[in-house]
Every structure is written in structure tokens, then in C-alpha cells.
Structure 1
């Protein structure tokens, strides 16, 4: 016979029972947090946005491949003719933008010797944009079959259509005996000759009024380079060792105190190479002239 024991009588403890206090209004079990639905909606929106952007990117890329060059814009051309540049680039008009070879376009522009550099860009609206950097004249090399402009880098270009006029009256240079090769089949002054011309022109531009008088710089070896003034055959020896600022100052003083009083043709040479001293050699007149003047 089985005996039933009363728990209260024996002092035995009933097992703990967890009570489900969750709202089960639909009978399906515990409810999820209230904000889980908003996260799902946000995820869905982001998913749709990514899909949309991908679709737009695909079709935009496809559209870009069909864009053609409808306009060629040339910027910063002052001396170089815009019409000349446009004619060179005309063959690219109507081409598909994505198929353009920027390097080839730039090479077409750089074939013009008066252009020092160029930047080419193609835009999604069908514009081919070309920005040019033109050469800046420094001096004019005159003892050649055709006068050549020396640019700020020492490169020589023909003085075509008044290229030298864009910088006013350029200093004439003569006596150059050696030229080096430059890019694009051009020629340039040797490093030594260029340094001398550049240093002299810089000092001349900063002088008080020597720039109004000096017309030519003549190269000569053995430290014998000299300058000639406008309206005078006198040779003012400057040398090849620089310090032209001081020498031009002595030139100005000598011109003001001596030449302006005694005349332009009184002196054959005026040596300005020595510190604090000027050595002048007068023109030697023929003997018959001397007798006639007595």
C-alpha cells in the first residue's frame, strides 16, 4: 500500500516554480523588444538605397561612355593664338570623352614652341579643357641667321610675329659660340652662358636708369664680356665674374659725369671690372685728322 505524505506535515519544501509574467495576448509566447521593428525597417531602407546607388552607378557609367567632346576650352593663352590651338585640337571634337588619350592631346599642344607647359583635362559635360603656360622672353639673341628669343629657362625660340615685343624692348645678346640641345628638338644656352645672361638681366632690371641706356650684352672669353649703350660704340667691359649690380652702378656714374659731358664717341673702352676704379681708353684718331684739327 502506498502512503500519501502531506508536505506540510513532513516539513518538505516544494520546488520553486518560475511564473511567466510576460504578456501573451496572442498566445504565441514572449514578445520581442518594442524597437526591433524599427531596426528591421532601417536595414531594409539601407539595403534599398545601396541597390539604388548601384543601379544608378551602373547606368551612369554606361552614360559616360557615350558622352562626346562638344567644346574645347583654351585658357591662359596670351601670345599663342587661340585659333591656332583650336585648329590643332579640332580633330578631337566629337570624340567620345572616355576614349580620349590625354597624353596625345597634350603632345599636340606642346608641339608649339612658345608653350612651356600645358595641362589637359576632360569633363563629364563634354568639355575638353586646356590650360597653357607660355614662355616668357628674357633676351634676344641677334647674331644668328634669324633672331632667336631666349626665354626665362634659356631655351631659344624664333622671334615669330613679335614674340619679343610682349616683354617690351629686350636686351640684345651676341657672341654666343655654343648651344645645347633642349626638349622637343629646341636648343638652349649652355648652363654657364645662361647663368651669366640671367644674372645680368636681373641686375639691369633693378638698376636706376642703366636699363634705359644698355642695348646689348656681348659674350667674350677671358673675362672680357662687355655691354654697348644706345647711340654709342664705346665698349663697357663687365667681365664674366658677376657682381653686375656694382658694375652697372659705376656705369651710370661714369655716363652721368663723363660721357654726357665729353660725348658718346670719346672713349673706345671703359673697363668696369675693378673695385672703386674705372679705366677708360680714348679713341685714337687717325694722324691726318689730328693735323687738320690743329
Structure 2
């Protein structure tokens, strides 16, 4: 088994854990505050990770450059706004459906990867990704009668558009992060990914602090008061991001993000056991289609 596969599965699990914690925090902190804790409480861990690789394992620092700075800023800003869209989505639909809407990202990441990086996909991989997206479409209209009209209405709804927009911006951030990490041309992929993560999360923290100070200083106070639960979001987020960054340095973005759809399995478990939300048969069927898409992608 190639190394990027278990790394991606672990990152997907941690991402789901982070999202579940953010859903819990959203009622207390609001969309912006619940989004900020991912970065604000995560960047010290990212810096510590880099130092452990450097001092503990002897990995040397890669040389930073302007191309890295450009892609890191693009990816960092895109991830901030994608996270805010996703957190807002949790207030509109249940946890499982809210997450599922954003899972159109692999197709969008494939398009962005093709346009921006010139990456190629096999016909088998394209077919597997389409199967996964059909699963997402089934989940989106699981609570209404099955028809073409209802499908278009479900996909054109405000909730669906926010979810698809979230997936699109996450796709842009993923491609930008891969570009940033590869532009370092460092000693090894692990150190490149770690330095990218540390730089991006530090920038995101500074950007959102300025934004929150400008918009509403009380949000900063609430974030500090909720440090116990918020720090868990930051820890899960930064460790998961370390996995994503490493996997996307080892493999094309579209493949990593498509395998990352296994997060939906963890999402449905969290929705049922943690939030006690009802899951329909069509939602389960859509989830199974997504898993089939993942397996098809791997075998392709």
C-alpha cells in the first residue's frame, strides 16, 4: 500500500472530528469564531511539528521563495472562507448532509489541478470520481421524492449552493497547498509539507485576528474563554492538515481528495451517535456509492 493512502484516511478521520467539534462550538462562538479556532489554536502545534522534524530527526529547512509565498497565501485565504461556508452550512442542515454537500470537491479539485498544474486523470479515475459525486447527489435529495425536477431543485437550493461553493474553495486551497509545498523543492516531502502547514496556519491566524479585531472584538474574548474545547479543534485540525499536506505532496490532489471522501463514513457515524440525527436509506445508499467511488479510484 502506498504511503499516501493511510495518511489520507487518518487525515479524513481527524477532519471529521474537527468538523464535529466546530459544529458544537458554532452555537457559542458564531461562524467566524468557530472557524478561527481551527487556525488560532493549531498554529503552535504546526510550528512545534516543524521543530521536532528539524531538531529530532535532523531534517533541514527548505529555502522559501516567492512562488511558495504566493500559493501559501492563496491556499490560506481559500481555506478560511471554505471553512466558514462549511461551518455556516451546519446551521442549515444536519451534520452528515452539510458535510456531504462539500464533497463535490474531488471533481472540482481535479478540474483545478488540470487547469493550474496540468495534472492528468485516467478514464477509470474519472469514472470513479463521478460515481462518488452521484452518491453525493443522492444524499442531497434523500428527503424528497426521486425525480429530475427534485434533483435540480435540491442542487439549486441555497444549502446546496453553499455546500458546492465550499467544496470549490476547498478544491482551490488544496491545489494551492500542493503547489506551495512542491515549490519548496526541499530535502523531503514530509518537511516540505510541515513547513507549508506552519507558514499557512500562522498567516491564517494573523489574518483572522485582524479581521475579528476589526469586526467584533468580543469574538476574540469568547474564543479565549472556550479554550478547552477550542484547543481540541485546533489540535485535530492541525494534525489532520499535516496529513493532508503530506499526502498531497506525495500524490495528485484529485486522488487524495477523492480518497478523502471516506470522511463521509465517519460523518454518518458522528451524525447518528453524537448528534442523534436521523439518517435515511437514500443517504446510506449515497454513502455506499461514495465508498464504491473510493475503491474504484484506488483500483484504477
The TM-score, its normalising length taken from structure 2, stands at 0.20
**Greater helix share, structure number:** 2
Q: Which has the higher contact order (CA 8 A, sep 6+)?
A: 2
Computing the radius of gyration from Cα coordinates, the structure with the larger value is: 1
TM-score (norm 1): 0.20
